[in-house]
Structure 1
Amino acid sequence: MNHDLDTRLLHIGSAPFDPVTGTAPVNLPSMRTSTVRFENLDRLQETVARRMKGERPITYGRSGMDTHRALEEVFNALEGGCYTCLAPSGLAAINILFMTVLQAGDHVLISDSVYAPVRNLNNALLSRLGISASYFSVGHDDVAALIQANTKMIYVESPGSLLFEMIDIPALAKIANARGLVLAADNTWGSGYIYKPLDLGAHISVIAGTKYVVGHSDVMLGAVVTNDEALARRIFQTQYAMGNSISADDVWLALRGVKTIAVRMPQHAKNTLEICQFFDSRKEVARVFHPAWHKDPGHALWQRDATGSNGMLSIELNCSPEAAKPFVNALTLFGIGFSWGGYESLVQWVEPGSLAPHTYWANNPHAVIRLHIGLESTVDLIEDLTQALGKIQNWDL
């Protein structure tokens, strides 16, 4: 039976019944082991033969146990994939992706609004391996004209980091397919639940499961997902060679967390739209960046390609970055931190230098503040934001 995604997410990872007692826990236990024992040599050889065919039988702790397979099934269900590779963090998943698709002499096109550590990956690792990268603006550049003879991949984050610029993935997929390129997308924002790059034409999707899949700010986790069998084999070979592994306890926590994504994500989205409306009413706020907000330039693309939203938004304040620091420091319900996707509200004072590469940014002298709207009462959050705005002295109104 083809059940709804919400139903499937609740039942993936249910523990099987013990054939002797006829009982079972609700969820699979965390299977902590490094070594797997085999009943006899025939069993071992059968398992090795299956692995040589490209299957993923349980052979050793590094490759994962039943708990890991259940979480892989979760990501496949979320993204519409046929294969998932788990990684120790979102950035580790990005590394596996790049090492899978690219080799010395290759070139990659990267959207200029990607997660900032991707630029560090390029500078610190890809360039040393003889892989070249160039950045493009989705809204301004002719992407097809930027493709070189050695270009192998187009890599984007949608919506973009910091300012949540919506990207037309179907349009990029047409370009990639026409030129035989891999189109890969960072889908941490949508996490497969409200946005599905593979359905839109991307070949590979990477997710920081640290965020909404886990949902409780207590696990580092990444995933690489594809719906292409040939790419799946290449991802498996790369991950196996690199030796990445995930703690069984972290996997278990992710399986626990994803059970409530169907109630958490819509509530984050509802709260965030209320906060957008509040900011829109304030003269101190020049602009709200949130694709589900009807005044956002990417709203039409969001309506077309997404099925929901989340707790992420940024605001441009009518003051300098320095003048905005008292606002951030005065907040009491928003923790100051870089991550998001947990139950709690967070705030980040955006370093002006990190905005400079984003063509989507108007490059004016105003402050940008990124917020994650948690599951607290919006009445309390608005009260906190109101008092914090009052701490700013030097407005450009």
Structure 2
Amino acid sequence: MRDATLCTIHPTISEEGYTALTVPTHRASTIVFPDAAAYATRGQRDLDGFSYGLHGTPTNRVLEAQLTALEGGRHTVLVPSGQTAIAVIFLAMLKPGDTVLIPDSAYPPVTGFCRNFLAPLGIGHRVYRPDASDLEAQIDSSVKLIWMEAPGSTTMEVQDVPAIVALAKRHGILTGIDNTWATPLLFKPLAHGVDFSMQALTKYVGGHSDLLMGSVSVNDSELRRRLRDQMRMLGLGVPPDAVSLALRGIETMAVRMAHQGRVALELARELADRGVGEVLHPALPSCPGHEIFKRDFAGASGVFSIVLPEAARLNPALDALRVFAIGASWGGTRSLMAPMTITRENAHPRNDKTILRLQIGLEDPADLRADLEAFFDILTTEQADA
């Protein structure tokens, strides 16, 4: 072979005796085949096979298998973000004339996706109360999917997943859940009969605020096929370099979450005792769905919220933070605050109130306490002046 060819074709070397703890990062677009027959029959390969880099490399398959084991399922698919995961489920399972039911406490972009993307396609949605008290009344022959989120974004209501699944099964309806807050370390939806267990790997799996990714785990191979078909039509794939970051993050996820969950609960109790506002943490008896949380969850993660009674000096209080950063998302090493105002379709006692969502990271708890004390001192000063 001449030099140009030698530059192009890599030599084969022996890997005998080489064993590493890290997962190799296989980057690929083109997948080559050993012979003409293998290429001609590439379409017959199963969903775990390799045909094009967009559909996964061995790096992706390792993460899929690891998540599948944690979820207690049979299959997992990886997508570019948590919101993409939700969108793929909805698009794969719903057709014009169908309806999806969504809890009023769900991640707001879910409702936005239904209104702005699904509705023009003729796919409807209806919003039900997080406690599911009005859920059965909303079921008709058009309902093909019931979506859940436990606990709910920002307001932390814990849904009775087993009861909702039982109701859905009586009507022959599929169920899915956003399990990002708990991850399968604290709650395993598939064990309760949920059809689609979704999480934003951006959060606790990644663990370092430096990747975007989502996953969907299922027990039914046909549901997996429908998800993969939808992903193929949309051209969705996950780059192996991002997968390698998720593989690194997942190794420490259990340790990180145990610490973050413990510190978050300690701080939530202290803040509730101080009377800074209504503290929304599922492990607190005052939080909606607390009894269900005690029954179904193995523990709590590091995210909770506070309904602020006064917010006139919120910006100065936020600007004075030294340890907490101002930002959304969660699951990383840095503690975050994100002020939010919710407006629910159903009447809700917290509508239009300022809610402060906290993500507890890995800083020293004493520094977090000092930052919180300074933050609430500014708000308290404003109330005293008033």
TM-score normalised per structure 2: 0.92
Partners of 2:344 and 2:351 within 8 A in 1? no
- Aligned amino acid, residue 228 of structure 1: D
Q: Does 1:384 align with 2:371?
A: yes
Partners of 1:114 and 1:160 within 8 A in 2? yes
Match among 215, 220, 235 for residue 243 of structure 1 = 235
Q: Does 1:44 align with 2:39?
A: yes
Q: Does 1:357 align with 2:344?
A: yes
1:259 and 1:86 map into 2 onto residues whose CA distance is 18
1:365 and 1:222 map into 2 onto residues whose CA distance is 30
The CA deviation at 1:47 is 4.1
Q: Which residue of 1 aligns with 2:354?
A: 367
The CA deviation at 1:46 is 5.1
Matches within 5 A, 1:26-105: 26-45=21-40, 47-51=42-46, 55-105=47-97
2:351 and 2:116 map into 1 onto residues whose CA distance is 29
The CA deviation at 1:141 is 2.9
The 1:376/1:39 distance shift into structure 2, 3 A limit, reads: same
The 1:327/1:342 distance shift into structure 2, 3 A limit, reads: same
- Aligned amino acid, residue 394 of structure 1: E
2:19 and 2:242 map into 1 onto residues whose CA distance is 21
- Aligned amino acid, residue 48 of structure 1: G
The 1:22/1:120 distance shift into structure 2, 3 A limit, reads: same
The CA deviation at 1:163 is 1.3
Q: Does 1:341 align with 2:331?
A: yes
Match of 1:395, SS state, is helix
**Count of residues in Structure 1 that have an aligned counterpart in Structure 2:** 372
**For each residue in 1:146-180, what CA deviation from the matched residue of structure 2 results, as whole angstroms up to 9, or x when unmatched?**
11221111011111000111000100011110111
1:185 and 1:46 map into 2 onto residues whose CA distance is 37
Runs of at least 5 residues in structure 2 that lack an aligned partner in the other structure: 1-12
The 1:43/1:281 distance shift into structure 2, 3 A limit, reads: same
CA RMSD of aligned residues (A): 1.8
1:270 and 1:20 map into 2 onto residues whose CA distance is 44
- Aligned amino acid, residue 33 of structure 1: A
Between structure 1 and structure 2, the one with the greater Rg is: 2
Match among 284, 302, 313 for residue 304 of structure 2 = 313
Match of 2:162, SS state, is helix
The CA deviation at 1:20 is 4.5
1:329 and 1:175 map into 2 onto residues whose CA distance is 47
- Aligned amino acid, residue 23 of structure 2: L
The CA deviation at 1:91 is 0.6
Partners of 1:328 and 1:349 within 8 A in 2? no
The 1:73/1:128 distance shift into structure 2, 3 A limit, reads: same
The 1:20/1:332 distance shift into structure 2, 3 A limit, reads: closer
- Aligned amino acid, residue 149 of structure 1: S
Partners of 1:278 and 1:382 within 8 A in 2? no
The 1:239/1:180 distance shift into structure 2, 3 A limit, reads: same
The CA deviation at 1:140 is 5.9
The CA deviation at 1:359 is 5.1
